[in-house]
Amino acid sequence: MAISRKKVLYLQGETFYLTLKNRAIMKDRFFNLILACCLFSLTVYAGEARYIFYFIGDGMGPNQVLSTEMYLAELEGRISRRQLAMTQFPYSGQAATFSSSNGITDSSAAGTALSSGKKTTNGTLGLDDEGKPVHTIAEILKERGWAVGITTSVSIDHATPGAFYAHVKKRNEYYMIGRQLAESNFDFFGGATFYQPYDPNADKSECLYDLAEQNRYTIARGYSDYNDKKYDAEKMILIQSFEGLEKDYKGGGMIPYAIDKQPDDLTLPQITTAAIDFLQRNDRFFLMVEGGAIDWACHSNDAATVIKEVIEFDDAIKVALDFYYAHPDETLIVITADHETGGMALGNSDYTLNLQLLQNQHLSVDQLSDKLKKLYVDNGASLKWDAVKQVLQADLGFYNTVEISADDEKMLKNAFKKLKKNKQNVKTLYKNLNKLADTAVRLIDKKAKVGWTTGSHSAAAVPVFAIGAGAEQFTGWQDNTQIMPKMLKSAKE
């Protein structure tokens, strides 16, 4: 049978179409197979974690992380990133942080969302937006027989740690939050201190340390005290070594900043090490570690201090990562932040960054403020500019590696005059800074090309990093309320 050329073309076309169709079918089958594999792996991984770590960098937005990596690379003379442990995790995403009442969340609403998967109003801790207590992941896992640890670099009754065990209408009810801690029956707490060990509204109230001891908690002050007491302890509260911290220490209730740390000061990696050591007695545990002081440094718009805090937070993550390598199939580590603080920006004028300049800053703006204030108190009206200049040279590298122009000096001298008149304090959320310290640190940040939009929080999305059993669930854009349910799904029954 003769076949016309038109028919041949048609048949060829048909064959081509059929080939495409077959390929499409095969491709569909291939994708179905891949999807099935993915779902299978999800069902395999979900529910397998016996050890769950929840790291929360308070105030740690994307630029807090990136500036740290680019700063470290600049120290090596490179325009690049020296990667932190957290950004090397195989799964990452971002989370929006708004609360049910505000586009910009506070730490208590954000902490509640992260601990329970429920949005609430700013200022509320552990209650949903109708005032009902939420069920946190720490409480749920404790009820299932897991050991639970809640730790932070600020006071153990602060909003983020409190969001895992406390249920109060106002986050500043520190005494009530502390009482709920002492009655939580959780296994391990680590951090600076109780912020309010006595009820400020009562003439006589029960001391929270006594209450905790009555509830069979051992109080360890400092890392070596922990090591001495851990064998006899049923439950543990590990806090900073020196007493009196709770009254007023560097603005109140925090372990000293990494940049200000003295050899005996507790560190977040030590707290994490102690927590793992203690919780490992149980065959399943949940540990929350908060890098709480990142937020405080961001509230002060103090970039050098922020970077050192992010490094310390990452060092604590490395401690958990070592544990993960020993138990890779049964461990889940999730890192995120409750919100961004400061509206931290990288770039404020031209197309350059000069982050390495921040290495000249040897103390936090808080400590600089205290130091300058002491200088004023010791010398009074006779305090000379030269004495102040020496401090700025030694602690910020001004006039040496950090160039100071005539305009810069004029600005610093104006602030110095205000210091001498003992006025014009700058109020941040946690600290009253004197104008001179604030001006000097703002100047070095400006020269490093770091910008700040606010002394408060921002609505910027925060990073999410995950590794281990169930980690693949944490990719993509998500809401902060989605993190806790995914984590719970990963937990072994």
Q: Which residues bind Zn ion (CB under 5 A)?
A: 58, 107, 295, 338
Identify which of residues 107 and 361 has a Cβ nearer to Zn ion in the complex: 107
Q: How far apart are CA 250 and CA 351, in angstroms?
A: 37
- From the number of C-beta atoms within 10 Å of its C-beta (0-12, 13-18, 19+), residue 389 rates as middle
Identify which of residues 464 and 471 has a Cβ nearer to Zn ion in the complex: 464
Residue 290 CB, shortest distance to Zn ion, in Å, is: 9
Q: How many beta carbons lie within 10 A of that of residue 44, not counting itself?
A: 12
Q: How far apart are CA 87 and CA 80, in angstroms?
A: 14
Which residue do the tokens 């000061």 mark? Answer: 265
Tell me the C-alpha to C-alpha distance, in Å, between residue 272 and each of 51, 54, 250, 316, 470. 13, 11, 23, 6, 22
- Give the long-range contacts of residues 381-384, CB within 8 A, separation 24 or more: 381/420, 383/419, 383/420
Tell me the two tokens of residue 70: 């680019």
Are the beta carbons of 118 and 128 closer than 8 angstroms? yes
Handedness of CA 311, 317, 323, 324 (dihedral sign): negative
Residue 37 CB, shortest distance to Zn ion, in Å, is: 39
Q: How far apart are CA 452 and CA 66, in angstroms?
A: 15
Short-list 244, 300, 252, CA closest to 438:
300
Identify which of residues 236 and 255 has a Cβ nearer to Zn ion in the complex: 255
Query: Letter for the amino acid at 122?
Result: N
Torsion angle, alpha carbons of 251, 256, 259, 263, to 10: 150
DSSP 198-250: S-TTSSS---HHHHHHHTTEEEEESHHHHHHHGGG-SEEEEE-SSTTTTT-ST
Residue 447 CB, shortest distance to Zn ion, in Å, is: 28
Are the beta carbons of 136 and 56 closer than 8 angstroms? no
Residue 292 CB, shortest distance to Zn ion, in Å, is: 8
Residue 457 CB, shortest distance to Zn ion, in Å, is: 7
Identify which of residues 161 and 468 has a Cβ nearer to Zn ion in the complex: 161
Q: Which residue is nearest to Zn ion (CB)?
A: 107
**Ramachandran angles phi, psi of 254, nearest 5°:** -140, 155
